[in-house]
Chain A
Amino acid sequence: MNPLGQLILARLREFFREPSALFWTYGFPTLLTLALGMAFQNPDPKQVVVAVWPGPDQQRRIDALQADPGIRVEALSEEETRRRFLGARVTMAVSGTRDLVLTYDPRDPEAPATRCRVLQHLREASSEPLLPVQDAPIEAPGARYIDFLVPGLIGMNILSGSMWGIGYALVEARKRKLLKRLAATPMRRGDFLVSFFLARLLFLGTEVAVILAFAMAVFGLEVQGSWAALVLLAATGAMAFGGLGLLAASRTRSTETVAGLMNLIMLPMFVLSGVFFSASRFPDFLQPVIGVLPLTLLNDGLRAVINEGAGLGSVAGPLVALAAGGWIASVVALRIFRWF
């Protein structure tokens, strides 16, 4: 047989014999599509939310929009709506008496389509076919899509950085017998593991600082709440995810296996924990699960501090939960840890 044919065959064989490659090529995109589908397509829970503010036309507008099954209409006060914009839990607000005023975040990917639909319905229902419209884009830091996105990216970065930095590095050291060699010295074994966590914290500090500084400089992001709470959340998150990395690495000998294990832990969180869009878009039956995922706790906490001005007190809950989860994972990991 000709060499090119043999070479192609060898590539294909190696590819299909590597389970993790298979997963990343076929499994992961399918899962992601499925998840996005659940979040954005299902008629019921993933309707866009449109708020109608109080005023003489409120009820008429609600009736007109309610006819569209893709829109969930809510009669909300302006204050409540602004609060919900912070969590990207409402896409558009309708107000105004003479003119129609549409309030939305122009960076929200759903805004343009929603604007079209809302306009169409309201014009059809109106006696006046050329209803004048005013757009009121939200520009205040803390309420834009970018404000929603950045904390999510920070959370995702903390998760993957901690897991790879601790889990993968440990298995690599075990595989090359460095762990065994170190175990044969008088080195205190605790020191070695602590060094991984402390080094992780140092890296994390710079990573988070770079993302934040960039978002502040380029997008005008503002940290509305307490910096102490932000630092503590990031550090606790890193330690908790480091604990998960330690657990994944505690008995694993091959780097391929630990990579698979860590992806298994991280993927559901990347998809479900509200990195790119609000986790509230997922169906209700998933919400209890999503609510206890460590990345959801971290992302929600970061968003509360950065966008909603939360202080230490209001993120105490997620802080304690993350710390407890990380502690349990680490204790179990150390119980079953294998040096060689």
Chain B
Amino acid sequence: MTPAIEVSRLVHRYGTVTAVAGIDLEVSPGECFGLLGPNGAGKTTTMEILEGLLTPTSGQVRILGRTWDEGNGDLRERLGVALQETTLADRLTCLEVIRLFRSFHRRGRDPEEVLAQVGLTDKRDAWVMRLSGGQRQRLALATALVGDPDILFLDEPTTGLDPTARRDLWQVVEDALRRGHTCVLTTHSMEEAERLCQRVAILDHGRVIAQGTPAELVATLGASEVVELATDPPLPPAVFAVVPGVHQALPGPRGARLTVDRSSEVLPELIRHAERQGAALASLDIHRATLDDVFLRLTGRSLEADG
């Protein structure tokens, strides 16, 4: 089966700034692929090259088996795009906007049906300027869906939304994914990537630093849980590296951040170890290892704090 998207040795420079520094990707048909990375990692630049909006400095891109030189208009018929931050016309209604975008495609879906799918039926006659942030993002998604695309590109669909609006949008995206669109989405939320994407590439400074399913990437930590603990007085994280069962000890936003296999077995020993150093436990947090922990291990920085 030909991949939906094939990217090799992709490089893009803006003047002297290298935004994309040699990326290889492959996205299979029907899969939702996530580009995960902090601000400035090169996600938007990569997306705009895939969407045929930017010409890369070097490297090859094939979309649905074709390059952008071969199939301009035809290829666009088959893509649905939601850019990071677009303000669609202020004084058009939702339905008018979707009808406009529908008119650009030879074949596509019924605008009212698409509005219903993204949950904007009751806003169909409301002006765009009167929509909330979450509603605008859903409208942007609807403009991408109305051409019934083979590939959906969503650039940071939930950035800037409050948690409720975010979960609503996830629901809408999951629903759209069930219709069988291939999807590429960017995010700096590992939670979002884990929930929506079958596979992710973690980007940092224009490079892919890890690629795979969220489970595979978390498995590279060699540990399944993360313990974050702070002590009084504070101890350097390295102190805990010697405790049996601790795979890695790094500084985190809330004290020492330790990757472990089974926290229930390690925890008593950790507390004893801290006491032996003359420190008492001040706070403790245990959670399943996530992509954020992978990013922290790879870069020494926290994705969430960065984003």
Chain A: minimal CB distance from B140 (Å): 8
Question: Is A177 part of the contact surface with B, judged by Cβ < 8 Å?
Answer: yes
The answer to whether A185 and B104 touch across the interface, beta carbons within 8 angstroms, is: yes
Question: What is the 8 Å Cβ interface bit string for chain A, positions 146-178, against chain B (1 contact, 0 not)?
Answer: 000000000000000000000000000000111
The answer to whether A186 and B81 touch across the interface, beta carbons within 8 angstroms, is: no
Q: A176-B86, A177-B83, A177-B86 are in contact. Are A186 and B73 (CB under 8 A)?
A: yes
B73: nearest residue on chain A (CB-CB)? A186
B: number of interface residues (CB 8 Å): 20
Question: Is B305 part of the contact surface with A, judged by Cβ < 8 Å?
Answer: no
Partner of B81, one of A178, A181, A340: A181
Number of CB contacts from chain A to chain B under 8 A: 43
Q: Which of B39-85 contact A (CB under 8 A)?
A: 51-53, 73, 76-77, 79, 81, 83, 85
Residues of chain A contacted by B104 (CB below 8 angstroms): 182, 185-187
Question: What is the 8 Å Cβ interface bit string for chain A, positions 262-305, against chain B (1 contact, 0 not)?
Answer: 00000000000000000000000000000000000000000000
The answer to whether B86 and A181 touch across the interface, beta carbons within 8 angstroms, is: yes
The answer to whether A178 and B53 touch across the interface, beta carbons within 8 angstroms, is: no
The answer to whether A185 and B83 touch across the interface, beta carbons within 8 angstroms, is: no
Chain A: minimal CB distance from B165 (Å): 21
The answer to whether B85 and A177 touch across the interface, beta carbons within 8 angstroms, is: yes
- Chain A: interface secondary structure? loop
A: number of interface residues (CB 8 Å): 13
The answer to whether A340 and B76 touch across the interface, beta carbons within 8 angstroms, is: no
Question: Is A184 part of the contact surface with B, judged by Cβ < 8 Å?
Answer: yes
Partner of A184, one of B81, B85, B88, B106: B81
Question: Is A228 part of the contact surface with B, judged by Cβ < 8 Å?
Answer: no
Q: A185-B147, A186-B76 are in contact. Are A180 and B86 (CB under 8 A)?
A: yes
The answer to whether A181 and B88 touch across the interface, beta carbons within 8 angstroms, is: yes
Question: Is A231 part of the contact surface with B, judged by Cβ < 8 Å?
Answer: no
How far, in whole Å, are A185 and B51 apart by their CA atoms in the complex? 10
The answer to whether A185 and B105 touch across the interface, beta carbons within 8 angstroms, is: yes
How far, in whole Å, are A183 and B53 apart by their CA atoms in the complex? 7
How far, in whole Å, are A177 and B77 apart by their CA atoms in the complex? 20
Residues of chain B contacted by A182 (CB below 8 angstroms): 104
How far, in whole Å, are A48 and B62 apart by their CA atoms in the complex? 74
The answer to whether A178 and B88 touch across the interface, beta carbons within 8 angstroms, is: yes
Most buried by B among A176, A182, A185, A187: A185
The answer to whether B83 and A180 touch across the interface, beta carbons within 8 angstroms, is: yes
Q: Which of B77-124 contact A (CB under 8 A)?
A: 77, 79, 81, 83, 85-89, 101, 104-106
Chain A: minimal CB distance from B53 (Å): 6
How far, in whole Å, are A209 and B73 apart by their CA atoms in the complex? 41
Chain A: minimal CB distance from B299 (Å): 30
Question: Is B143 part of the contact surface with A, judged by Cβ < 8 Å?
Answer: yes
Q: A186-B73, A186-B77, A340-B53 are in contact. Are A181 and B83 (CB under 8 A)?
A: yes
Partner of A178, one of B51, B87, B106: B87
Residues of chain A contacted by B87 (CB below 8 angstroms): 176-178
Question: What is the 8 Å Cβ interface bit string for chain A, positions 176-211, against chain B (1 contact, 0 not)?
Answer: 111011111111100000000000000000000000
The answer to whether B83 and A184 touch across the interface, beta carbons within 8 angstroms, is: yes
8 contacts between A and B (CB under 8 A): A176-B86, A177-B85, A177-B86, A178-B87, A181-B143, A184-B51, A184-B52, A186-B104
